[in-house]
């Protein structure tokens, strides 16, 4: 019985997140979610008490996916000093492989991609979403990378320089990809 309950809750999360990615969190109601699932609102409330509880569960699932992926690819865990030391010793190909997996996670895996789209849509409408956007897609990763590079290079200034060049390369690559997509 527990497995069926878990499957139902997972299905609710997946469908709710698709709606959030399409219409925004603020633009989606519990009625919309129930309708999409083909259930009554009362049946939906049996599993989740509110839209906020659904969002909290989505965020928790994102955290779980991050932890599982890091473990699967044997990425360093723990405090920054330990992580930095382990990255210094890690083979370049292993880091490169994980970087590619992370990119695909955010761009091609449906759940994560919908989460990214939802945050992108809602970042200007809702302070909680703006903070989540920053934590997952903007300043959070940059702050982490700066601290990691600083520890690996032993110099915060050099770490910022590396990040600036990476950021420039990323923007250039994104621009070129957009231009190619428009040309098609």
Q: pTM for the complete prediction? A: 0.82
Residue 24 φ then ψ, to 5°: 90, 155
Domain ranges of the chain: 2-137
Task: Give the pLDDT mean for 120-129.
Answer: 92
Tell me, what's the pLDDT at 50?
A: 97
**2-137, superfamily in CATH?**
Tetracycline Repressor, domain 2 (1.10.357.10)
More confident residue, 118 or 159: 118
Interval 9-23: pLDDT, tens: 999 999 999 999 999
Tell me, what's the pLDDT at 1?
A: 46
**Tokens matching residue 57:** 């569960």
Cβ atoms 19, 13 nearer than 8 A? no
Write down the residue that tokens 């070129």 correspond to.
Answer: 176
Interval 59-97: pLDDT, tens: 999 999 999 999 999 999 989 999 999 988 999 899 889
Q: How far is CA 174 from the centre of its chain?
A: 18
Residues 93, 176: Cα–Cα separation, whole Å: 25
Interval 133-181: pLDDT, tens: 999 988 888 888 888 888 888 877 777 777 776 666 566 666 666 666 6
């Amino acid at each position: 019985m527990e497995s069926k309950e878990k499957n139902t809750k997972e299905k609710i999360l997946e469908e709710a997140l698709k709606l959030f990615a399409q219409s925004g969190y603020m633009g989606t109601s519990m009625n919309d979610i129930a309708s999409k699932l083909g259930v009554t609102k009362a049946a939906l409330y049996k599993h989740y008490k509110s839209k906020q509880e659904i969002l909290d569960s989505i965020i928790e699932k994102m955290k779980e996916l991050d932890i599982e992926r890091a473990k699967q690819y044997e990425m360093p865990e723990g405090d920054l000093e330990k992580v930095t030391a382990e990255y210094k010793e890690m083979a370049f190909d292993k880091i490169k492989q994980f970087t590619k997996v992370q990119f695909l996670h955010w761009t091609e895996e449906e759940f994560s991609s919908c989460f990214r789209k939802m945050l992108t849509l809602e970042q200007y409408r809702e302070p909680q979403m703006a903070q989540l956007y920053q934590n997952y897609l903007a300043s959070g990763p940059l702050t982490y990378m700066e601290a990691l590079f600083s520890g690996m290079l032993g110099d915060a200034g050099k770490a910022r320089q590396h990040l600036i060049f990476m950021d420039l390369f990323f923007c250039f690559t994104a621009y070129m990809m957009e231009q190619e997509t428009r040309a098609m």
